[in-house]
Chain A
Amino acid sequence: MPYRCVHCTKTYRDGSQEVLQGCTCGSKFFFYIKEEKLREITSQAPEEFELTPTEKKQVEEDVREIAGVTDEEMPVFLDFESIRIIKPGKYLLDLGKLFAIDKPRVYKLEDGKYIVDLAAKVKPN
Chain B
Amino acid sequence: MLRIIKSFSRRVLASLFGRKSTVKIGFYGPPNAGKTSLANRICKDWTGEEIGVVSKVPHETRHVQFKEKVEIKHKGKNLTFKMVDTPGIATKIDYEDFLKYGIKKNEAKRRAKEATQGIIESIQWLDDMEAVVIVLDATENPYSQVNITIIGNLVARKIPILIVANKIDLRKADIKKIGAAFPEYEIVGLSAKEGTNMDEFYEALFRLAKKT
Chain A positions near chain B (C-beta within 8 angstroms): 6-7, 27, 29, 31, 37, 41, 62, 65-66, 83, 88-96, 98-99, 101, 105, 117, 120, 123-124
Contacts and interface: CB of A to CB of B under 8 A. Distances in A.
A124 B125 contact: yes
A114 B198 CA distance: 47
Contacts of A41: 145
A6 B95 contact: no
B92 interface: yes
B89 interface: yes
Contact of B92 (A27, A29, A92, A124): A92
Interface string B148-166: 1110110111000000000
B184 interface: no
Contacts of A105: 120
Chain B residues touching A, range: 20 to 34
B104 to A, nearest CB: 12
B124 A29 contact: no
B94 A90 contact: yes
Interface in B124-169: 124-128, 145-146, 148-150, 152-153, 155-157
B33 to A, nearest CB: 16
Contact of A90 (B112, B121, B148): B112
Interface in B60-86: 64
